[in-house]
Structure 1
Amino acid sequence: MKGGGAIRSGGGGGGGLMRTRLRLPTPSLIPYQILSWQPRALYFPQFATAEQCENVVKTAKARLRPSTLALRKGESEETTKGIRTSSGTFLSAEEDPTGALAEIETKIAKATMMPRSHGEPFNVLRYEIGQKYASHYDAFDPAQYGPQKSQRVASFLLYLTDVEEGGETMFPYENGDNMNIGYDYEQCIGLKVKPRKGDGLLFYSLMLNGTIDPTSLHGSCPVVKGEKWVATKWIRDKTL
């Protein structure tokens, strides 16, 4: 059943006497909404401030390059042309002079309860009109990509801008739907999440047994009107 709640950060429970003795900080809440159980996906409204989002866009804009793909066995840049048409850059928190990414990274660690040391640098992306990312998995199947030293467990997407039309993050296989229709990885179907400035989306790529969740297939629908900026934090099962 879908629902919502709030993750406590910065403190724990306990009675008033224990709180006084230990001088525990007053916990802050990180509200969230459960979007789906297949895949496991949570939505975090107003996760970042408008100022933080604008600072990330400003920092990344001068570094943008055409986005690339991790290639599977037998693939080449030529054969995969058109799958991912955005531009982007990788940014670590240390490379952001405004401090916005460090603040966001710390909050992501609290929301996911996974240490900052398990996160890859942010992949900041810009999608202009018509640009998209065909459906794909964030985790790497060793049979297709070769042996992996670590695996991507989860992805946290922070939307840095509103998008007037299009640009949704979509999960075509939610609840096992569309898996037997000959889906071509291009259609924008299934569960769709509209980008809203400052909101976050967390989803898990792995099942509890460590195998890739087939319903975590996802993509970015083409932008129809406006421009989409998003910062993605991939979280792994081992310290990087």
Structure 2
Amino acid sequence: MKGRVKSPKTKFGKPIVFFLCLLFFLAGFYISTIFSQSQDAPSLPHGSRILESVEVDSQAMPHGETGDSYIQSIPFQVLSWKPRALYFPRFATPAQCEGIIEMAKSNLKPSTLALRKGETDESTKGTRTSSGTFISASEDDAGILDAIEQKISKVTMIPRTHGEAFNVLRYEIGQKYDSHYDAFNPAEYGPQKSQRVASFLLYLSDVEEGGETMFPFENGAKLGMGFDYRKCTGLKVKPRQGDGLLFYSVFPNGTIDQLSLHGSCPVVKGEKWVATKWIRDQEEEDD
């Protein structure tokens, strides 16, 4: 007669079984906690450009006579180091943008160019096809331009007295501005009393299609090569109402940044409104 096969006796004692049960319980609790937190956490959009808000738990430092008594946060994004270009989302409110447009509408005239040696109005025809007008903060009784100007001064760390009047521009369908420099090369334009070191563009409207601000030489691309200044290429910044774009045309040592070449792509659909503030290295006599 065959014998029965005996089942093997377990080798685990009660303490080991208790320890294993406790280990499995703790592991399950830890995993469920992580899963719960991941479900509750707000999802960030892919490629989010800015941190929407930053709370600073800090006391303002004692300030000088010309300083501020408060801490202010102005969100920005570095678009490029070559050239130095910074983007400021929601720099102005929709109401402020609409107010500036209303101030400019009745005084618009065809935009002009600062001519280089040997150039004429006829030879440069078609380079800049927008219409615009200059408005200084002192002409704005509502105080909109004054508030914008103060904010620009904060982000550039350049006094308001160094800024030219706002150049408010309108680009209609097909209108554009070929690639150019805002700084004036004395060899091309003659001696200059002061130099444009930075430009701040405040977009006053959305543009359905086209109208981007472009930097064709961004990061040294195409520099030194044959280049069609009418092309819309390179780093492009899409206009959005209330957003600001700051870029520097001159290095800290005073030389012109060749990569700051920029232009305005043709508007394909809609209308583009922008207020440009050119900032100089010395005080402006008339503002």
Q: TM-score, normalised by structure 1?
A: 0.91
Alpha-carbon distance in 2 for matches of 1:48, 1:14: 25
Structure 2 matches for 1:177-216, cutoff 5 A? 177-216=221-260
SS in 2 for 1:215: helix
Cα distance in 1, alignment partners of residues 252 and 154 from structure 2: 20
CA separation of 1:108 and 1:17: change in aligned 2, threshold 3 A: closer
The structure with the largest strand share of the pair is 1
Q: Which amino acid aligns with 2:87?
A: Y
Return 207-216 or 80-89, whichever deviates more: 207-216
1:18/1:43 CA distance change after superposition, 3 Å: closer
SS of the equivalent of 2:76 reads: strand
Partner of 2:183: 139
RMSD after superposition: 2.1
Which residue of 227, 235, 239 maps to 2:271?
227
Once the 2 structures are TM-superposed, how far is the Cα of residue 147 of structure 1 from its aligned partner? 0.4
- Size of the aligned set, in residue pairs, is 229
Deviation per CA, 1:216-238, whole angstroms, max 9, x where unpaired? 00000000000000000000000
CA distances 1:144-199 after superposition (whole Å, capped 9, x unpaired): 00001100000000000000000000000000002244111000000000000000
In structure 2, relative to structure 1, the CA distance for the partners of 1:4 and 1:34 (3 Å cut) is: farther
Change (3 A) 1:14 1:160: closer
CA deviation map 1:54-90 (0-9, x unaligned): 0000000000000000000111111100000000001
Q: How does 1:1-240 map to 2 (within 5 A)?
A: 16=59, 25-240=69-284
Separation in 1, partners of 2:251, 2:98 = 34
How far is 1:17 from its partner? 9.7
Deviates more, 1:167-176 or 1:206-215: 206-215
Secondary structure of 2:191's match? coil
Contact 2:79 2:87 in 1 (8 A): yes
5+ long unaligned stretches in structure 1 = none
Report how far residue 18 of structure 1 moved. Answer: 6.1
Task: Return the alpha-carbon distance in structure 2 between the equivalents of residues 185 and 97 of structure 1.
Answer: 40
How far apart are residue 137 of structure 1 and its match?
0.1
Code of the residue aligned with 2:92 in structure 1: it is A
**Highest CA radius of gyration, 1 or 2?**
2
Structure 1 segments, 4+ long, off by >2 Å, are: 3-6, 13-19
Identity of aligned residues (%): 69
